[in-house]
Amino acid sequence: MAASGPNNSRWLAPRRATTRSASRCRAERRPRSNVHPNKGGLNARTNLYYLATEDMGATWRTAAGHEVELPITSIDNDALIYDYQAEGKLVYLKDLNFDAAGRPVIVYLTTDGYAPGPANGERQWWTAHWTGEEWRRRPITVSDHNYDFGSLYVEGDEWRLLAPTDPGPQPFNTGGEMVLWTSRDEGATWQRTRQVTQGSQVNQTYARRPVNAHPDFYAIWADGNPLERSTSALYYTNRAGDVVRPLVAP
Query: Residue 102 above 80 pLDDT?
Result: yes
Phi, psi of 94, deg, nearest 5: -120, -45
Q: Does 7 map to a domain?
A: no
Residue % of the chain over a pLDDT of 70? 86
Query: Residue 130 above 80 pLDDT?
Result: yes
**Residue-level pLDDT at 34:** 76
144 pLDDT band (50/70/90 cuts)?
A: very high
Domain hosting 77: range is: 32-247
Residue % of the chain over a pLDDT of 90? 81
Phi, psi of 105, deg, nearest 5: -130, 120
Phi, psi of 181, deg, nearest 5: -115, 145
Mean pLDDT of the chain: 88
42 pLDDT band (50/70/90 cuts)?
A: confident
Q: Does 40 map to a domain?
A: yes
Q: Does 2 map to a domain?
A: no
Q: Does 240 map to a domain?
A: yes
Q: Does 9 map to a domain?
A: no
Model confidence over 61-74: pLDDT tens digits? 999 999 999 999 89
Nearest to 161 by CA among 183, 128, 184, 143: 183
Q: Does 20 map to a domain?
A: no
Q: Does 170 map to a domain?
A: yes
Cβ atoms < 10 Å from Cβ of 146: 22
How many domains does the chain contain in total? 1
Query: Residue 27 above 50 pLDDT?
Result: no
Please list the residues that pair with 234 across neighbouring strands: 222, 248
Q: Does 8 map to a domain?
A: no
